[in-house]
Structure 1
Amino acid sequence: MANNQKNVTPEQQKYQQLQQKHELKRPILKNCIKAFFVGGLICVIGQAISYFYIYYFNFTEQTAGNPTVATMVFLSMILTGFGIYDRIGQFGGAGSAVPVTGFGNAVISAAIEHRTEGFVLGVGGNMFKLAGSVILFGVFSAFVVVLVKSVLVIWGVL
């Protein structure tokens, strides 16, 4: 860092001081609180959907997870299509991106953005740029976890 400071001209120092003087301070705490509550609200909605599947369709707590995730992704895709999820993301920041709904939003956003290029190359090709990598790493991570668990079971640890 000292080397960078030696090569800075007085004009650059003045500009950096002027820039720091006029730089807007980001409300980090406020953004964190909004992200916390938006992400929490999305999770509460997901829990309510899970209970809905448990009580009305006789799923168990373990088996209600898959339809709950599918429903949440579907809802986020619908809300993205109507432009509502984008407003939620503007307000909640990372709180809207972290849950599974952020994945659905990212997939459908790419599809909407490239729909003018056609269904196959535009929508299909670009929609799975993000989804493909997420699915790949999800499957690979599951493989590693099962491999480790299997080795631990064989060794008698579990």
Structure 2
Amino acid sequence: MPQLDKTPDEYQKLVKKAHPSDSKFRNFFSAYIVGGLICVLGEIITQSLVAQGMPLEKAGPLMSVSMITIGGLLTGLGIYDNIAQYSGAGTIVPITGFANAIVAPAMEYRQDGYVLGLGAKMYSVAGPVLTYGMLAAFIIGIIKLIVI
């Protein structure tokens, strides 16, 4: 076994030199820009639907469905992961991040079959979020029913 002739301080300097730099400003800026662009796309879809005569009350939900579809499609094609690697949290916060959280585990376990793979693992990431979200909505609904 070769003997290392480096002191702990010299070794730490080598590790720091080899480690890629992590710019918090760049991470914040890229997340802000990409997340904002995703939201702008959603607003463009909404305004396009309203311009075609659809009421805003119907255009909003249709935009959400469209954004979820786009996010799921980009995840299935492997594009969303590349965008997420560049922008980090900028892709998690918008509704497209929800689509990615559903589709990514499904893609990973699709070789295990439709029931035991796709069906069982699809909600492995988003399942707890959905469960606690529904539980919170139920509790708030009960409180509102009692108070009002």
Smaller-chain TM-score bracket = 0.7 to 0.9
| Secondary structure, counterpart of 2:22 in structure 1 | coil
2:134 pairs with 116, 136, 139, which one?
A: 139
Aligned to 2:72: 77
For 1:63 and 1:151, locate their aligned partners in 2 and report how far apart those are by CA, in whole Å: 31
Aligned to 1:41: 37
Aligned to 1:4: none
TM-score after normalising by structure 2: 0.81
For 1:19 and 1:72, locate their aligned partners in 2 and report how far apart those are by CA, in whole Å: 45
Q: Deviations over 1:57-115 (max 9, x none)?
A: 5222x443322211111101111111111111121111011111011012111111111
> Which region of structure 1 is more displaced relative to structure 2, 137-146 or 119-128?
137-146
Q: Deviations over 1:98-147 (max 9, x none)?
A: 11101101211111111110011101110022232222122122233334
Q: Is 1:59 aligned to residue 55 of structure 2?
A: yes
1:94 pairs with 89, 102, 109, which one?
A: 89
Change (3 A) 1:81 1:151: same
For 1:136 and 1:91, locate their aligned partners in 2 and report how far apart those are by CA, in whole Å: 30
User: Root-mean-square deviation (CA), in Å?
Assistant: 2.4
Q: Is 1:30 aligned to residue 26 of structure 2?
A: yes
| Secondary structure, counterpart of 1:49 in structure 2 | helix
Q: Which runs of 5+ in 2 are unaligned?
A: 1-5
> Which region of structure 1 is more displaced relative to structure 2, 88-97 or 51-60?
51-60
The alignment covers a number of residue pairs equal to: 142
| Secondary structure, counterpart of 2:52 in structure 1 | helix
Aligned to 2:46: 50
For 1:70 and 1:12, locate their aligned partners in 2 and report how far apart those are by CA, in whole Å: 58
For 1:65 and 1:145, locate their aligned partners in 2 and report how far apart those are by CA, in whole Å: 24
Q: CA deviation at 1:19?
A: 6.0
For 1:125 and 1:12, locate their aligned partners in 2 and report how far apart those are by CA, in whole Å: 51
Change (3 A) 1:122 1:15: farther
